[in-house]
């Protein structure tokens, strides 16, 4: 087992990653808000996640995005009222769950605005090579696996 060399939490890779993620999320949400597409940055992220995970159920979406149930319910209500998503009640292990899917209108919002998101992300990562991005993905997968193993 590797010895952690950091003397304080702020010296750890966890702290560094957290700062990067918070900064990226804040900037991305601001960019989305500035597009004036009728939904907030937070709602766009939820919509895009549903687009990427068809038939995702509400609890899984909440877990994936680290949002509490009431916040997720509120966002989904807005997206549903705008006609961007549809809920379908289904059974999962003898429990009723809401399966979430994107509508044609929601898909149009994603496809019309994703080029702006890609442009922003390209700018953010302009000094990072493709190899470094691949390494970051690989390290991220290792962190997730180790965390999962540590938590049992």
Q: What average pLDDT does the chain have?
A: 90
Mean pLDDT of 1-17: 83
Three-state DSSP class for 7?
A: coil
- Report the residue count for the chain: 152
Compute the Cα dihedral for 9, 10, 12, 14 and give only its sign: positive
The reply to whether 1 falls in a domain is no
Average pLDDT over residues 25-39: 85
**Domain-located, residue 2:** no
Q: Taking a C-beta distance cutoff of 8 angstroms, is the pair 27, 45 a contact?
A: no
Quick one: average pLDDT of 62-85? 95
CA distance 148 to 142: 10
Question: Residues 42-55: pLDDT tens digits?
Answer: 899 999 999 999 99
CATH of the domain at 47: 1.10.10.10
Q: What is the model's pLDDT at position 41? A: 86
Place of tokens 């509400």: 58
Query: What pLDDT, on the 0 to 100 scale, is given for residue 147?
Result: 83
Read off the pLDDT of residues 75-133 as tens digits, 9 standing for 90 and up: 999 999 999 999 998 887 788 888 999 999 999 999 999 998 888 888 888 999 999 99
Q: How many domains does the chain have?
A: 1
The alpha-helical segments, DSSP class H, found in 1-152 are 13-34, 41-52, 58-65, 69-81, 104-124, 130-151
Burial class (CB in 10 A: 0-12, 13-18, 19+), 78: middle
Spell out the residues 6+ positions from residue 95 whose beta carbon is closer than 8 angstroms to its own: none
Range of the domain at 18: 9-146
Instruction: Decide: 66 and 110 in contact? Cβ < 8 Å.
Output: no
Dihedral over Cα of 27, 17, 140, 137: its sign: positive
User: Which pair of tokens denotes residue 122?
Assistant: 């390209």
Is 98 within a domain? yes
Structural domain contains residue 151: no
What is the predicted pLDDT for the residue at 1? 56
């Amino acid at each position: 087992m590797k010895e952690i060399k950091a003397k304080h939490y702020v010296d750890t890779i966890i702290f560094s990653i957290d700062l990067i993620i918070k900064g990226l999320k804040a900037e991305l949400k601001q960019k989305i808000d500035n597009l004036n597409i009728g939904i907030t940055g937070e709602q766009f992220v939820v919509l895009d996640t549903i687009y990427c995970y068809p038939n995702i159920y509400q609890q899984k979406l909440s877990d994936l995005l680290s949002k509490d149930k009431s916040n997720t319910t509120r966002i989904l209500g807005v997206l549903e009222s705008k006609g961007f998503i549809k809920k379908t009640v289904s059974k999962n292990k003898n429990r009723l769950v809401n399966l979430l899917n994107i509508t044609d209108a929601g898909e149009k919002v994603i496809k019309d605005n994703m080029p702006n998101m890609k442009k922003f992300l390209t700018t953010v990562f302009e000094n990072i090579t493709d190899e470094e991005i691949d390494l970051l993905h690989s390290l991220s997968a290792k962190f997730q696996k180790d965390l999962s193993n540590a938590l049992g």
